[in-house]
């Protein structure tokens, strides 16, 4: 203390003493002195003297301040009489000033020391009633009430106290505890949270809020809270206990989802924490019990992990992995039992410890049968279950436990019924009773018991499973059983339920569902030693077409069954081996499949299914004779089989016979078969297929009996399909199928079943294949794309659509910018086809067929649009992508053909882009592909074109000769070749060319005329090139007469005639021209340009001004605005000048003046002198 | 008086060791140490080097108690499922299997005369007595129900009997219960005499002084060791010092000292005269479940067994 202050105080003291001497009766001065002595000088005795005097003089001084100091003074003196005096003083002080927290607290402490709790409560209550600001009293009262477990009152007091001390973590903690005891958990959590906020290390608040979280089931939060507590209090037993039980809860949640691995890893952590807590408090039985619980749960969830084996199979590794899995489970369970025993040893009066040991012993026994003690008639599990009952005979759950663990059915039943007597709504007991009855074969009772259980607690898995297992005895379908078992599996992922589910799925056809897949995979983790588990897993894999892994699973199953020493292994072994052989066969591993079959044969297990597989694998391996023998033996034993497998056997035999011995012997065999065989619809279809292939119609006699056996529309349409194919075969020649009859037949069938996409697609395909002139459009129309273009028949609708769109030779483009559509069938769906194909490609980007068709369609479009740049770029990219696909390295004629076409497309694009070297390379590549000459022709044709544009005459000639040698049955090829020939003056092989062309044309009836007309057209054009207009006219008129009403041909003819008339023979050719052109004008789909202009000229030449004007006006709208030629404007100028006189303003030519017309003509083509002269004349 | 460590065997058992007793010396061999453990085995050890003399199996749960016949030829062990196996110490052949309902056999003790085997009856609230010649159950000494409870009341009012002790003359049996009471029976008449009160938590171990037949020492979970005048129904002393449950108590042959094992991981030696602990051994690192003085003359030996799987042997002088 600094000197000056000390002096000051002494001064003050002296001053007060002096004034007291002056005024000895002034209590306030004495009080002041007392306080000074008490606080500053620490002379409490002297101070007390002053306080006594002051209190005597004025008891109410400073609101009982004197009494407070006196009370504190006496309380400080440690003796009985003094404390009495202290009590009185403090009581006085507190009653004088209820807000005085120091006096109040001191009073309460004193009372507390003397154990006078009720008095303490009374003091606090009085103070709190006297003043709402006596927060100390509320606080004290709250604590006391909480201590006395009067929680709702405590909440009020504490809340009031918190108003006075809002930052006291202890108060918040106490409030939290009060709420917790009242069961208001969220409020409690909030209060504890506030306490933790105020002081992060409130261990009590942390642990209690953790406990509340666990109780509310939010284990994650609980775990976090306990971890937080452990951070600063690493030795807290409660925190350890809470953490491990939180982790246990978390793990159980995982396990209930079936995430065993996850659960196991959480449990590993939990067991570590629990183990640590057993070190901290090894004599608490609850900790040992928790440790036991954790390890038992671990033993029950530890998953068997598949050895990383790829698709190889290693029996030893499998066995070892199962052994080590079992060992891990067993060790965990045994450790759990040790922990339970410790718990029991510490607190043997607790009944649940006995039942825990009982359950664990039972589990260990189930895992490891060898460790059972046969010496005593009582299993330890049963005995311990009895132990629990001896201690707590009125606990129904212990009775249920005994019922589950006992080996004696009578005792089981008794225990379960006893449990139900104690608690009739115990769903578990009902469920187990049901299980027991089921085992004893009392299905009726079982069902009732399960029904009770289910109605009491629908979230219990066992009754659902029980109901599903019972489905044989009831009428309910397998579907219902499956659903109910699925429910059980969803509630509790138990391996037994899961294998049951897979079994039911097999029966009800749900095997490929993902729920079954997940379930059986989980089952494998928990029951790897059950062969049926692997077998079912194999079946599930097979259902998902994963034959390789199915085979591995079957092998595992076989391995597991060898380890299992059970009586009935033989028949199971057979089933598994048959499955294995089938899976191997399906996976393409025929050699192994054959081995398995031979093993079966050796063991005498070769049943119907195995024989089929045997025969099939023999056939696959080329041992045809043996295969046939096996199949024949199978077919001969048909009479003893059930219907489905009998049919399968006969079908197999017939098919083999067809493949191996040929058509005739098969037919003979079928003719010898008894009629009832045909009752199987599948066999009927096979017979029809064979019938379809047979040109001699030997099976006609059985045909009628077949028809009657088919029931469903699908089967009937399939029959019609086969009939149509049969028609094709029967009415075709050696080289060509009877398309016409086939199409007729199909049209009739389609009339009956208009919705069958199978028939529609076939019709479309046939229409396309017939290569008749206009059938392509019908093909596209008859198989409209439905919602799913990838469904139906052996040719898909998108394929027909795509092919149909490229098959049309006519220009289908309706955009007048490029050309004029000439297709009389309004082939306007071509862009639609491209869009459809793009849609298909988007759905199945891996589908090379769609890509191929899209490329072809795009090339077609590019051709029509004169190879625009952007399209060429897209195409080149598409083709490169397509060609780089593995798909085109596979063998197969159609794939080679597609590759060929793609190369040609690439080549053509390059030709137009000017990359001649690429073009030649692509074409050469194409010409190397192994294909019939008729196709290769086109590669060489393209080479011709490339060399021609390169100017390489030698190579051109060579390729041309090659083309002639190869020949093709495709007319357009010949026409192109002809074109090339005349264009480049090649060495003529004209005779052969023309002859071959005519030869191929004859075969087609409908379109032969058209092709001849085209041939004539080409010849006519060549004549025009060689200035031989007369012969050109001859060819063209022949073409017109052959083709009928074809506007373009007529136009050509008309124009040629005009030319001839210009050259001389006016009258004769002029009338011919007029006829052709008028006809052209009439038949053309949309008004063709030039036709009317020429007609106008004809009219003019014949002196008919009216005709001239009319036709010229008709000419105008035929041109799209951007392509109107200069001559058109000039002609309009002439027309305008002529019709000036007549004032009919509706005519086109009067839109503008002749001057404007001529200027427009000059603007379009300034190089024509005629226009300039006309302008001059006009201006003059 | 003092203790001096002689030998300690770590991992004497595979699991916690729960019970220990001395098998008295016979003509052919010295006294042996018999231990029972959670690993379901009973093992024999020869002092002072604690050589393993044999491993006896036959239980399928942890062994909670072992007892040796005063003759030294016979011993009995009880596991948690209340299965009692009586066997020949030297040949390990089973002499008898006594079965009681589970939870109804806890601590075992032969009477000093050797014709009776008593077992603390756990949940049955009684002491069971077998005749050692016929191995028949000859008596069940039940603790009477507290006044005011009806027989219909189930287990809750029962006293779970944890421990049992014979007086040196064999005329009295005392048993300790879970609620802290000690009951004294007259063995001749098979009658309940009275309760000894004072403990408030389970009494896990009790022993009569070999020197003074009336004097009974009890150890309880309330951390105290009490001395009673078993006849006079009075508590004559209380000793405290353990920091955990007192799990086991045994009196030295001369009656001058007792040893206790506790869950605070220590073994304490108490001077009866001074009523105070004179020595604390803390060589175990887990709770000490059993202590046992070797009967007979000098030199004195004390053995202790613990949850840490170890056995320790001390010289007592």
pLDDT, tens digit (0-9, with 9 covering 90-100), for A407-421: 888 888 999 999 999
- By the CB < 8 Å criterion, does A376 face chain B? yes
Say whether A283 and B245 touch across the interface (CB within 8 A).
yes
Residue B155: list chain A partners with CB under 8 A.
351, 391-393
This model of the complex carries an ipTM of 0.89
- By the CB < 8 Å criterion, does A350 face chain B? no
Say whether A393 and B82 touch across the interface (CB within 8 A).
no
**Residue of chain A whose alpha carbon sits nearest to that of B202:** A347
Say whether A344 and B80 touch across the interface (CB within 8 A).
yes
**Residue of chain B whose alpha carbon sits nearest to that of A377:** B99
Q: Answer with the residue of higher pLDDT: A746 or B172.
A: B172
Say whether B122 and A345 touch across the interface (CB within 8 A).
no
A795 — pLDDT class (breaks 50, 70, 90): low
Say whether A349 and B123 touch across the interface (CB within 8 A).
yes
Listed by number, the residues of chain A in 325-344 with a beta carbon closer than 8 Å to a beta carbon of chain B are 337-338, 341-342, 344
Mutation target to probe the A interface, by most A beta carbons within 10 A, among B40, B62, B80, B223 is: B80
Top mean pLDDT of A318-327, A697-706, A712-721, A1021-1030 is at: A318-327
What's the longest Cα–Cα distance across chain B? 56
**Residue of chain A whose alpha carbon sits nearest to that of B106:** A348
Q: Looking at residues A249-272, what average pLDDT do you find?
A: 91
From B97, B160, B286, residue closest to A348, measured CB to CB: B160
Reference A943, options A972, A884, A903, A895; nearest CA is: A903
From A342, A351, A380, residue closest to B81, measured CB to CB: A380
Q: Answer with the residue of higher pLDDT: A951 or B208.
A: B208
B154 — pLDDT class (breaks 50, 70, 90): very low
**What whole-number percentage of chain B has pLDDT above 70?**
96
Q: Indicate if A1072 and A1173 belong to the same structural domain.
A: no
CA distance A213 to A228: 14
The token duo for A206 is 């942390």
Say whether B155 and A351 touch across the interface (CB within 8 A).
yes
- By the CB < 8 Å criterion, does A90 face chain B? no
Does a structural domain hold residue A631? yes
Kindly report the number of other CB atoms within 10 A of residue A448's CB atom. 15
* pLDDT, tens digit (0-9, with 9 covering 90-100), for A1003-1052: 555 667 777 888 888 888 888 888 888 888 888 888 888 877 777 788 88
Burial grade of A1013 (CB within 10 A; 0-12, 13-18, 19 or more): buried
Q: Indicate if A957 and A1050 belong to the same structural domain.
A: no
Q: Looking at residues A354-378, what average pLDDT do you find?
A: 74
A703 — pLDDT class (breaks 50, 70, 90): low
Pick from A657, A690, A711: which residue ends a domain?
A711
- pLDDT score at B117: 94
**What whole-number percentage of chain A has pLDDT above 70?**
87
Q: Looking at residues A58-70, what average pLDDT do you find?
A: 73
| Strands of the sheet with B224-229, listed across from one edge | B203-208, B215-220, B224-229, B234-240
* pLDDT, tens digit (0-9, with 9 covering 90-100), for A838-861: 888 887 788 888 888 888 888 888
Does a structural domain hold residue A413? no
Say whether B103 and A393 touch across the interface (CB within 8 A).
no
Q: Indicate if A871 and A981 belong to the same structural domain.
A: yes
From B101, B162, B245, residue closest to A390, measured CB to CB: B101
Shortest distance, CA A109 to any CA of chain B (angstroms): 29
Pick from A694, A711, A728: which residue ends a domain?
A711
Q: What is the mean pLDDT of chain A?
A: 80
Reference B169, options B106, B228, B238, B116; nearest CA is: B116
Helix, strand or coil, per DSSP, at residue A978: helix
Residue A378: list chain B partners with CB under 8 A.
99
- pLDDT score at A375: 46
A295 — pLDDT class (breaks 50, 70, 90): very high
Q: Looking at residues A755-772, what average pLDDT do you find?
A: 74
Q: Answer with the residue of higher pLDDT: A709 or B151.
A: A709
Question: Look-up: residue for tokens 């008593």?
Answer: B118
Say whether A349 and B178 touch across the interface (CB within 8 A).
yes
* pLDDT, tens digit (0-9, with 9 covering 90-100), for B43-97: 999 988 889 988 888 888 899 999 999 999 999 999 988 889 999 998 889 999 9
Say whether A384 and B81 touch across the interface (CB within 8 A).
yes
Say whether A393 and B155 touch across the interface (CB within 8 A).
yes
- pLDDT score at B70: 92
CB pairs under 8 A between A and B: 90
Residue A405: list chain B partners with CB under 8 A.
none
- By the CB < 8 Å criterion, does A237 face chain B? no
A312 — pLDDT class (breaks 50, 70, 90): low
CA distance A894 to A889: 12
What is the bridge-based pairing of β-strands B3-9 and B17-23? unpaired
Shortest distance, CA B196 to any CA of chain A (angstroms): 20
- pLDDT score at B78: 92
In chain A, the number of structural domains is: 4
Q: Indicate if A1155 and A1065 belong to the same structural domain.
A: no
Secondary-structure breakdown of chain A: helix, strand, coil percentages, each rounded to the nearest 5? 75, 0, 25
Does a structural domain hold residue A746? no
CA distance A468 to A482: 7
Which CATH number belongs to the domain containing residue A1077 in this structure?
1.25.40.10
Helix, strand or coil, per DSSP, at residue A584: helix
Say whether A349 and B122 touch across the interface (CB within 8 A).
yes
Say whether B263 and A345 touch across the interface (CB within 8 A).
no
Say whether B103 and A354 touch across the interface (CB within 8 A).
yes
* pLDDT, tens digit (0-9, with 9 covering 90-100), for A2-60: 677 778 878 887 887 788 777 777 777 777 777 777 777 777 777 777 777 777 777 76
**What whole-number percentage of chain A has pLDDT above 90?**
9
Does a structural domain hold residue A104? no
Question: Is a pLDDT exceeding 80 seen at residue A456?
Answer: yes
A243-247, A686-690, A894-898: least confident range: A686-690
Q: Answer with the residue of higher pLDDT: A107 or A832.
A: A107
Q: Which CATH number fits domain B3-146+156-316: 2.130.10.10, 3.30.1490.100, 3.40.50.1820, 2.60.40.1120?
A: 2.130.10.10
Say whether B154 and A392 touch across the interface (CB within 8 A).
yes
Q: Do A347 and A310 meet the contact criterion of CB atoms below 8 Å apart?
A: no
* pLDDT, tens digit (0-9, with 9 covering 90-100), for A181-224: 999 999 999 999 999 888 888 889 999 999 999 999 999 999 99
Reference A332, options A306, A363, A286; nearest CA is: A363
From B15, B99, B124, residue closest to A338, measured CB to CB: B15
- By the CB < 8 Å criterion, does A434 face chain B? no
**Residue of chain A whose alpha carbon sits nearest to that of B102:** A387
Say whether B102 and A393 touch across the interface (CB within 8 A).
no
Question: Look-up: residue for tokens 């196996």?
Answer: B85
- By the CB < 8 Å criterion, does A391 face chain B? yes
How far from each other are the two terminal CA atoms of chain B, in whole angstroms?
A: 5
Q: Looking at residues A312-341, what average pLDDT do you find?
A: 86
From B15, B122, B286, residue closest to A282, measured CB to CB: B286
Residue B99 has phi, psi (to 5 degrees) of -115, 135
Chain Cα centroid distance, residue B295: 14
Q: Indicate if A631 and A704 belong to the same structural domain.
A: yes
Say whether A376 and B101 touch across the interface (CB within 8 A).
no
- pLDDT score at A474: 53
Say whether B154 and A341 touch across the interface (CB within 8 A).
no
Q: Do B306 and B1 meet the contact criterion of CB atoms below 8 Å apart?
A: no
Question: Is a pLDDT exceeding 90 seen at residue B175?
Answer: yes
Residue B103: list chain A partners with CB under 8 A.
348, 351, 354, 387-388, 390-391
Say whether A384 and B60 touch across the interface (CB within 8 A).
no
Residue A980: domain span: 867-986
CA distance B65 to B59: 12
Residue A196 has phi, psi (to 5 degrees) of -65, -35
Pick from A669, A691, A711: which residue ends a domain?
A711
What is the bridge-based pairing of β-strands B51-56 and B203-208? unpaired
- By the CB < 8 Å criterion, does A459 face chain B? no
Top mean pLDDT of A225-239, A658-672, A810-824 is at: A225-239
Q: Looking at residues A761-770, what average pLDDT do you find?
A: 76
- pLDDT score at A988: 63
B153 — pLDDT class (breaks 50, 70, 90): very low
- By the CB < 8 Å criterion, does A711 face chain B? no
Q: Looking at residues A622-634, what average pLDDT do you find?
A: 79
Chain Cα centroid distance, residue A996: 57
Does a structural domain hold residue A825? no
From B58, B81, B307, residue closest to A282, measured CB to CB: B307
Q: What is the DSSP letter of B25?
A: P
Q: B299: cis peptide before it, omega within 30°?
A: yes
Residue A387: list chain B partners with CB under 8 A.
81-82, 101-103, 123
Say whether A348 and B38 touch across the interface (CB within 8 A).
no
User: In chain B, what are the domain boundaries?
Assistant: 3-146+156-316
Q: Do B311 and B8 meet the contact criterion of CB atoms below 8 Å apart?
A: yes
Q: Indicate if A899 and A982 belong to the same structural domain.
A: yes
Whole-Å CA distances, A160 to A171, A340, A705: 10, 47, 98
Does a structural domain hold residue A852? no
């Amino acid at each position: 203390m600094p000197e000056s202050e000390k002096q000051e105080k002494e001064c003050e003291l002296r001053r007060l003493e002096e004034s007291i001497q002056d005024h000895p009766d002034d209590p306030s001065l004495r009080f002041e002195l007392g306080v000074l002595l008490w606080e500053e000088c620490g002379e409490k005795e002297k101070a007390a003297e002053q306080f006594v005097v002051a209190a005597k003089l004025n008891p109410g001084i400073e609101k009982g301040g004197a009494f407070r100091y006196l009370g504190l003074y006496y309380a400080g003196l440690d003796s009985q009489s003094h404390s009495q005096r202290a009590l009185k003083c403090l009581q006085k002080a507190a009653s004088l000033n209820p807000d005085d927290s120091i006096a109040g607290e001191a009073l309460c402490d004193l009372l507390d020391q003397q154990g006078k709790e009720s008095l303490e409560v009374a003091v606090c209550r009085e103070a709190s009633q006297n003043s709402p600001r006596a927060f100390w009293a509320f606080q004290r009262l709250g604590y006391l009430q909480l201590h006395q477990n009067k929680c709702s009152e405590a909440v009020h007091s504490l809340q009031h106290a918190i108003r006075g001390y809002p930052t006291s973590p202890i108060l918040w903690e106490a409030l939290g505890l009060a709420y917790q005891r009242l069961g208001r958990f969220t409020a409690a959590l909030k209060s504890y949270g506030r306490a933790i906020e105020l002081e992060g290390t409130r261990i009590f608040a942390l642990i209690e809020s953790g406990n509340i979280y666990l109780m509310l089931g939010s284990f994650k939060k609980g775990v976090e809270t306990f971890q937080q507590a452990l951070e600063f209090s690493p030795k807290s037993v409660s925190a350890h206990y809470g953490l491990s039980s939180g982790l246990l809860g978390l793990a159980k949640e995982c396990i209930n989802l079936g995430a065993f691995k996850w659960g196991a890893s959480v449990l590993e952590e939990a067991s570590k924490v629990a183990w640590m807590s057993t070190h901290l408090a090894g004599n608490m039985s609850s900790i040992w019990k928790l440790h036991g619980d954790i390890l038992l749960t671990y033993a029950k969830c530890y998953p068997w992990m598949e050895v990383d084996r790829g698709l190889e199979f290693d029996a030893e590794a499998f066995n070892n992995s199962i052994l080590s899995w079992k060992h891990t489970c067993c060790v965990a369970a045994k450790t759990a039992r040790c922990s339970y025993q410790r718990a029991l040893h510490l607190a043997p009066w607790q009944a649940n410890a006995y039942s825990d040991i009982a359950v664990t012993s039972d589990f260990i026994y189930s895992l490891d049968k060898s460790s059972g003690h046969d010496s005593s008639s009582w299993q330890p599990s049963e005995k311990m279950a009895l132990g629990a009952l001896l201690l707590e005979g009125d606990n129904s759950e212990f009775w249920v436990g005994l019922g589950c663990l006992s080996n004696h059915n009578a005792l089981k039943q008794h225990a379960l019924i006893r449990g139900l007597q104690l608690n009739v709504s115990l769903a578990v007991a009902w469920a187990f009773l049901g299980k027991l009855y089921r085992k004893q074969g009392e299905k009726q009772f079982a069902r009732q018991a399960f029904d009770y259980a289910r109605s009491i607690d629908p979230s219990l898995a066992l009754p659902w499973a029980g109901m599903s297992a019972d489905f044989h005895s009831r009428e309910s379908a397998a579907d219902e059983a499956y659903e109910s078992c699925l429910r059980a599996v969803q509630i509790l992922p138990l391996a037994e339920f899961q294998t049951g589910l897979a079994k039911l799925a097999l029966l009800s056809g749900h095997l490929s569902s993902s729920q079954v897949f997940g379930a059986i995979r989980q089952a494998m983790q928990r029951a790897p030693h059950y062969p049926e588990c692997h077998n079912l897993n194999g079946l599930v894999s097979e259902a998902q077409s994963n034959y390789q892994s199915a085979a591995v699973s079957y092998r595992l199953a076989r391995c597991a069954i060898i380890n299992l020493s059970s009586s009935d292994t033989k028949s199971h072994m057979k089933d598994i081996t048959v499955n294995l052989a089938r899976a191997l066969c399906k996976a393409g591993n025929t050699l192994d499949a054959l081995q398995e079959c031979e093993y079966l044969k050796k063991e005498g297990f070769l049943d119907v299914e195995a024989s089929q597989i045997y025969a099939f694998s023999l056939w696959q391996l080329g041992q045809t004779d043996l295969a046939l023998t096996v199949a024949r033996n199978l077919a001969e034993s048909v009479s003893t089989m059930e219907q489905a497998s009998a049919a399968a056997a006969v079908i197999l035999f017939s098919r083999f016979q067809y493949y191996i011995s040929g058509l005739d012997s098969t037919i003979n065999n079928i003719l010898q078969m008894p009629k009832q065989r045909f009752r199987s619809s599948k066999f009927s279809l096979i017979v029809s297929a064979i019938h379809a292939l047979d040109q001699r119609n030997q099976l006609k006699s059985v045909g009628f009996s077949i028809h009657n056996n088919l029931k469903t529309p699908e089967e009937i349409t399939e029959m019609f399909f086969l009939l149509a194919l049969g028609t094709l075969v029967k009415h075709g020649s050696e080289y060509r199928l009877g398309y016409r009859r086939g199409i007729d037949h199909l049209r009739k069938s389609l009339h009956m079943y208009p919705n069958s996409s199978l028939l529609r697609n076939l019709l479309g395909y046939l229409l396309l294949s017939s290569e008749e002139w206009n059938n392509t459009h019908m093909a596209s129309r008859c198989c409209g794309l439905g919602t799913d273009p990838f469904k139906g028949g052996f040719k898909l609708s998108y394929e027909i659509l795509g092919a149909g769109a490229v098959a049309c030779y006519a220009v289908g483009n309706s955009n007048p910018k490029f050309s004029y559509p000439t297709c009389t069938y309004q082939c306007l769906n071509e862009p639609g086809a491209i869009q459809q194909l793009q849609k298909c490609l988007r759905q199945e980007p891996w589908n090379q067929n769609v890509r191929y068709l899209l490329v072809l369609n795009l090339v077609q479009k590019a051709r029509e649009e004169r190879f625009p740049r952007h399209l060429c770029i897209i195409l080149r990219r598409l083709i490169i992508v397509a060609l780089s696909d593995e798909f085109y390295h596979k063998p197969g004629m159609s794939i080679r053909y597609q590759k060929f076409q793609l190369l040609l497309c690439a080549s053509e694009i390059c030709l137009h882009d000017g990359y001649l070297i690429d073009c030649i390379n692509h074409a050469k590549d194409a010409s190397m592909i192994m294909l019939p000459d008729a196709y290769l022709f086109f590669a060489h044709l393209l080479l011709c074109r490339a060399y021609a544009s390169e100017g390489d005459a030698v190579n051109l000639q060579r390729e041309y000769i090659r083309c002639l040698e190869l020949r093709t049955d495709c007319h357009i090829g010949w026409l192109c070749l002809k074109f090339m020939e005349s264009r480049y003056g090649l060495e003529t092989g004209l005779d052969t060319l023309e002859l071959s062309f005519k030869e191929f044309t004859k075969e087609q009836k409908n379109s032969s005329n058209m092709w001849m007309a085209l041939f004539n057209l080409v010849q006519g054009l060549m004549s025009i090139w060689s200035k031989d207009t007369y012969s050109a006219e001859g060819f063209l008129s022949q073409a017109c007469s052959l083709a009928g009403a074809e506007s373009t041909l007529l136009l050509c003819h008309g124009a040629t005639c005009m030319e001839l008339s210009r050259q001389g023979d006016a009258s004769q050719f002029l009338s011919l021209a007029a006829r052709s052109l008028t006809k052209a004008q009439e038949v053309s789909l949309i008004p063709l340009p030039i036709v009317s202009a020429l007609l106008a000229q004809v009219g003019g030449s014949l002196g008919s001004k009216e005709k001239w004007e009319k036709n010229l006006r008709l000419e105008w709208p035929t041109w799209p605005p951007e392509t109107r030629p200069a001559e058109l404007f000039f002609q309009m100028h002439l027309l305008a000048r002529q019709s000036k006189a007549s004032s009919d303003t509706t005519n086109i030519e009067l839109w503008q003046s002749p001057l404007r017309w001529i200027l427009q003509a000059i603007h379009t083509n300034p190089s024509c002198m005629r226009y300039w002269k006309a302008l001059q004349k006009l201006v003059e | 008086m003092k203790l001096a460590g002689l030998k300690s065997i770590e991992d004497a058992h595979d699991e916690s060791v729960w019970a220990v007793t001395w098998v008295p010396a016979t003509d052919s061999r010295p006294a042996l140490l018999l231990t029972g453990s959670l690993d379901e085995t009973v093992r024999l050890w020869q002092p002072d080097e604690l050589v393993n003399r044999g491993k006896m199996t036959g239980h399928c749960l942890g062994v909670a108690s072992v007892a040796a016949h005063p003759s030294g030829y016979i011993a009995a062990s009880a596991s948690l499922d209340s299965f009692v196996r009586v066997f020949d110490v030297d040949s390990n052949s089973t002499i008898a299997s006594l079965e009681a309902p589970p939870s109804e056999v806890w601590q075992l003790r032969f009477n000093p005369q050797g014709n009776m085997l008593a077992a603390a009856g756990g949940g049955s609230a009684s002491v069971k007595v077998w005749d050692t010649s016929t191995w028949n159950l000859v008596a069940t000494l039940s603790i009477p129900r507290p006044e005011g409870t009806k027989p219909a009341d189930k287990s809750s009012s029962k006293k779970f009997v944890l421990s049992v002790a014979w007086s040196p003359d064999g005329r009295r049996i005392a048993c300790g219960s879970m609620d802290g009471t000690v009951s004294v029976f007259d063995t001749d008449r098979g009658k309940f005499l009275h309760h000894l009160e004072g403990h408030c938590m389970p009494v896990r171990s009790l022993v009569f002084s070999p020197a003074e037949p009336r004097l009974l020492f009890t150890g309880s979970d309330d951390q105290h060791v009490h001395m009673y005048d078993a006849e006079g129904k009075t508590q004559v002393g209380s000793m405290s010092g353990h920091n955990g449950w007192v799990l086991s108590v045994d009196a030295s042959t001369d009656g001058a000292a007792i040893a206790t094992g506790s869950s605070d991981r220590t073994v304490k030696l108490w001077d009866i005269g001074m009523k105070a602990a004179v020595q604390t051994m803390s060589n175990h690192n887990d709770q000490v479940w059993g202590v046992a003085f070797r009967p007979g003359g000098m030199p004195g030996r004390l053995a202790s067994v613990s949850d840490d799987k170890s056995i320790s042997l001390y010289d007592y002088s």
